[in-house]
Amino acid sequence: MKKKIKDLLKVKLEILGYKFLEKKRNKNDIIFYKELDNGMVLSLAIERSRLYSNTFTCSFYMAVSYTWPLHTPEFLPSEAYQRIGSLLDLSQKKVLSSREYWYVNDLWWKIDIIEELDVFFDAIKIADKKFITENKNLLSIIQKSGKYKEYITYIKVLFSILEGFRKKNCSKEDSLNEVREITQNVVREKNDIRNNKNGIILLSLDAFNCFYLSSTRNWALIEDTARIDINNMPN
């Protein structure tokens, strides 16, 4: 994506409360985030087409932390991830997209053209509002997904990493290395399934972003979720 277009997109998405996510697995990924009133993190990933040049779509992700845009964990239900096309009805698609996309969930825009970028943003505004409304009780949806214990276990590990990192006194420049070391120790001590290269990268980046980007509201949500007693949960 051209820098001029990316900068324009940043300005437009800031109107909706989104900020650009700097730390992610792939530095070329274009991801924005915002924290909702209930402490949940909503992320927006701008995705480039592999078939057509300068053609983009986007997807919405919601979770207790920044997990989703860093990695697609199987323990989160499908409701927590939606392509923009699934959030627009047919009448909206007819106004905001080309005819070829009216009956599919993958909608694409050539956003290097300013007029197309404006339409893309109009589509995001509508989809953003609908996604937030549909997922305002996401924790309840997760609880019914069949993988609730697995998700709570992840948050417990994440919280332990955050607690360990909070006790450290290091500069932000060195902190990603510090949090990676803490992550390795925590997953080893807890014998967590993420005690591997990809799992440690996921947890380290998630913890780093939580530590530096989250408000006290999101910290409280993480802590409350981490303190859920999974031993007393029904199977």
Residue 119 and residue 93 share a domain: yes
pLDDT in tens, 61-78: 999 999 876 676 677 777
- The tens digit of pLDDT for each residue in 136-158 reads 888 888 888 788 888 899 999 99
**Structural domain of residue 23, as residue ranges?**
3-142
Same domain, yes or no, for 24 and 121?
yes
Q: pLDDT-based confidence at 26, cuts 50/70/90? A: confident
Same domain, 102 and 208: no
- Output the average pLDDT for the chain: 89
Dist. CA 142–CA 139, nearest whole Å: 5
Q: Are residues 134 and 186 in the same domain?
A: no
Instruction: With a cut of 80, say whether residue 173 has pLDDT above it.
Output: no
**Do residues 123 and 150 share a domain?**
no
Residue 4 confidence (pLDDT) above 90 = no
Q: Are residues 135 and 159 in the same domain?
A: no
| Residues 83, 136 within the same domain | yes
Task: Please say if the pLDDT value at position 171 is more than 70.
Answer: no
Contact 71, 45 (CB under 8 A): no
Does the predicted TM-score (pTM) go above 0.85?
Answer: yes
* Alpha carbon distance 145, 140 (integer Å): 9
- For residue 172, the one-letter residue type is K
Q: Please tell me whether residues 130 and 28 are part of one structural domain.
A: yes
Are 180 and 206 in contact by the 8 Å Cβ rule? The answer is no
Residues 131 and 153 grouped into a single domain: no
pLDDT at 230: 78
Q: Which residue has the higher pLDDT, 26 or 187?
A: 187
At residue 74, the pLDDT reads 74
Nearest CA to 89 among 63, 74, 72, 107?
A: 107
Number of domains in the chain: 2
Co-location of 62 and 177 in the same domain: no
